[in-house]
Amino acid sequence: MPRVQPVPVDQLNPRARAMLQEGFDNGAYNDNSGQLPPSMRTLAWSTHALEVAHAGAMAGWRGGLLDARLCELIRIRSAQVNGCSNCAAAIKEDGVSGDDVACMIDTDYSAFTAREAAALRYVTKFGTDHHSIEDSDIQALLARFSPAEMVELVHYVARMLGSHRMFSVFKVISDCDPLVKFDPSLVDAPMTAEGELAA
């Protein structure tokens, strides 16, 4: 069990269910299990957190200047760097293969285009030591991407790395006993000033 038990599908409030279904139907939340993923159902403990995450996911899904294959490679590499096995195993674009995923694990970028390899090197470096990013790393991106594409790429990488780290903290795919077991009365419930749960 994850640290925070995902909200069971049949316990999702109507707003959360609608958002998760929208993301699932258009492919953004498809983890190849055929079900609403536990990662997004974890966010459903707070409808506000889910709304913010969902708005960002829908705005960034298959839009912008970067092509879908590149975004999918970045998403998977981010998941690999952060140990988010559920996200790393879910291939959401037909143009990405299991061989692509294996090459990224070995950090062998020779099978990728020059643009893809530059992006994957950046994801890896940013994900492992963002303080080591230098002007030369940005220049390496600018050799393959326009300034607008580079800004979009850096932003997308940051979003993916942050999400994958969050789901890693929650141990979304884990056998541990949950620290927080599902209780429908606690969904969207604050803590009172006296330190009591306002269930």
Q: What is the pLDDT of residue 167?
A: 87
Is 144 buried (19+), middle (13-18) or exposed (0-12) by CB count in 10 A?
A: middle
Cα gap 104→112, rounded to integer Å: 10
Mean pLDDT for all residues in the chain:
91
Q: What is the pLDDT of residue 136?
A: 96
pLDDT in tens, 50-97: 999 999 998 878 788 999 999 999 999 999 998 887 788 888 888 999
pLDDT in tens, 129-146: 999 999 999 999 999 999
- The CATH class for the domain spanning 9-182 reads mainly alpha
Q: Residue 154: pLDDT band by 50, 70, 90 thresholds? A: very high
Using the predicted structure, report yes or no on whether residue 199 has a pLDDT greater than 70. Answer: no
Using the predicted structure, report yes or no on whether residue 172 has a pLDDT greater than 80. Answer: yes
pLDDT in tens, 8-18: 999 999 999 99
Using the predicted structure, report yes or no on whether residue 196 has a pLDDT greater than 70. Answer: yes
Q: What are the two backbone dihedrals, phi and then psi, of residue 197, each rounded to the nearest 5 degrees?
A: -70, 130
Q: What is the pLDDT of residue 160?
A: 93
- Tokens matching residue 39: 């990662």
| CB-CB contact of 149 with 115 (8 Å) | no
Q: Residue 1: pLDDT band by 50, 70, 90 thresholds? A: low
| Range list of H helices, 90-134 | 98-105, 114-129
Q: What is the pLDDT of residue 151?
A: 97
